[in-house]
Chains A and B, each alone.
Chain A
Amino acid sequence: MLANYGYKDGSGEYFVTIDTDKCTSCPHHGCIDGCPEHIYEMITDDYDDNVSAVRRDVRNTLKYLCAACKPTTGRGVLPCMAACTPGAITHSW
């Protein structure tokens, strides 16, 4: 399942997508501690899979929370994506 967390408003589209099929195969879930803003948490989803998800209370502020990892120039690899070994995380912006 592709779980898209985030939003679209007039200024743009801000979605963090987690591929739960890849996520379930991961033994250590590095994203949880890998994100400096701690936006991820482990949940048991509706189909009883233990997967990472973007915390409900931060889903509508991702543009601002992720800003620190996304400087306008010199943006490197995002820490959450680097920590996610199965490559389950993508950002839309």
Chain B
Amino acid sequence: MAEFWRWKEYNWKDPDKDWKTAKMITAGIDVGSVSSQAVIATDGELYAYSSMRTGSNSPDSARKALEWALQDTGMKQENIQYVVGTGYGRVNVPFANKAITEIACHARGANFMAGNSVRTILDMGGQDCKAIHCDEKGKVTNFLMNDKCAAGTGRGMEVIADLLAVPIEQVGELSFNVPEEPEPVSSTCVVFAKSEAMGLLKDGWTKSKVLAAYCLAMAKRVSELLERIGVEKEFFITGGIAKNAGVVKRLEQVIGISAVQSKYDSQLAGALGAALFGQALLQKEKAAGKVA
């Protein structure tokens, strides 16, 4: 099976920061079904991070992601005072002080990455779709997660891209290569949408036109999920979908709101939120005199 959103494994550290002067060092580890991220925060600011493929073993993936984020920083794992695990594999982060759901972490991370005026967050990954409404502090006020049905997830897009033999990273660009926007694919169910797409090809539709029709169907589908939690400005998108302009542009048109941009990689939202949760929890423990 082709891979959903193509992305690179990488790590980064802030060259202008000296972690040794920090009062509080926390880490967030997001072990997802496809990729894992580790973020190290010093005094509530982003210091270093890594993003890599999740292996078959969650504890291993968590450890490797953290090791890679630590690389070339001179920092050791024991220098980190508080670790929060999140994502599918969050309960499998052996060195975590606490596990927090990806819903809460994404909201907190988005609040940091795109500013405290963010109210609506869409996270669309390879196998699920999350819609979150939050307040100015990044606290969740309304949420839903859909991981039952492949429609509206990266997997649904993958099935259609496979059918058309189009590399997934080209879907967005190709979908705009149409003289005018076609009607969306009418079936929600991916199995039926695939049959429908086969019929459209037989009718002489170009691949681009089929992709346009499916991207629009996906945008509509996601907008329905967003409506349940209430769409409010500002709107921020995280996860793999952020990289597919074919869906994002159409979604912005359907809901009538443009997504805010962030200078940070949208994949970091979960791990960053987890590290910030860690910061708050550490502060609380310090205040209670539990730790030095």
> Taking the complex as a whole, does A directly touch B, i.e. does some CB pair lie under 8 Å apart?
yes
A residues apposed to B, CB below 8 Å = 1-10, 13, 15, 46-47, 59-60, 92
Within 8 A of A (CB), among B42-67: none
- Whether A2 lies near B143 (C-beta < 8 A) is yes
Contacts known (A10-B187, A46-B101, A47-B104); A4 close to B148, Cβ less than 8 A: no
- Whether A10 lies near B189 (C-beta < 8 A) is yes
Contacts of A7 in B (CB 8 A): 146-149
- Whether A1 lies near B142 (C-beta < 8 A) is yes
Interchain nearest-CB distance for B184 vs A (Å): 14
As a 0/1 sequence over residues 236 to 277 of chain B, the CB contacts with chain A under 8 angstroms (1 = contact) are: 000000000000000000000000000000000000000001
Segment at the A interface, from B112-120, B168-176, B202-210, B224-232: B224-232
As a 0/1 sequence over residues 118 to 161 of chain B, the CB contacts with chain A under 8 angstroms (1 = contact) are: 00000000000000000000011111101111011000000000
Contacts of A2 in B (CB 8 A): 141-143, 229
Contacts known (A1-B143, A47-B139); A10 close to B148, Cβ less than 8 A: no
Contacts known (A9-B151, A10-B188, A10-B189); A4 close to B141, Cβ less than 8 A: no
Contacts of A60 in B (CB 8 A): 147-148
Nearest A residue to B139 by beta-carbon distance? Answer: A47
Contacts known (A1-B140, A1-B142, A2-B143); A59 close to B228, Cβ less than 8 A: no
Contacts known (A1-B141, A1-B142); A8 close to B149, Cβ less than 8 A: yes
Q: Does B100 contact A (CB under 8 A)?
A: yes
Contact of A9 among B139, B149, B229 (CB under 8 A): B149
Interchain CA distance A71-B178 in the complex, whole Å: 47
Nearest B residue to A60 by beta-carbon distance? Answer: B148
Nearest A residue to B140 by beta-carbon distance? Answer: A1
Q: Does B10 contact A (CB under 8 A)?
A: no
Q: What secondary structure prevails in chain A residues at the interface with B?
A: strand
Further 14 A-B residue pairs, CB within 8 A, beyond A10-B188, A46-B100: A1-B139, A1-B141, A1-B142, A2-B142, A4-B228, A6-B144, A8-B224, A9-B151, A9-B188, A10-B149, A10-B187, A10-B189, A47-B104, A60-B147
B residues apposed to A, CB below 8 Å = 100-101, 103-104, 139-144, 146-149, 151-152, 187-189, 192, 224-225, 228-229, 277
Which of A1, A13, A46, A47 has most chain B Cβ within 10 Å? A46
Contact of B140 among A8, A15, A46, A92 (CB under 8 A): A46
Contacts of B141 in A (CB 8 A): 1-2
Nearest B residue to A61 by beta-carbon distance? Answer: B148
- Whether A15 lies near B144 (C-beta < 8 A) is yes
Contacts of B152 in A (CB 8 A): 8
Interchain nearest-CB distance for A63 vs B (Å): 9
Contacts of A10 in B (CB 8 A): 149, 151, 187-189, 192
Contacts of B139 in A (CB 8 A): 1, 47
Interchain CA distance A5-B101 in the complex, whole Å: 14
- Whether A3 lies near B143 (C-beta < 8 A) is yes
Interchain CA distance A60-B277 in the complex, whole Å: 28
Which 3 interchain pairs have the tightest Cβ spacing?
A7-B148, A10-B189, A4-B144
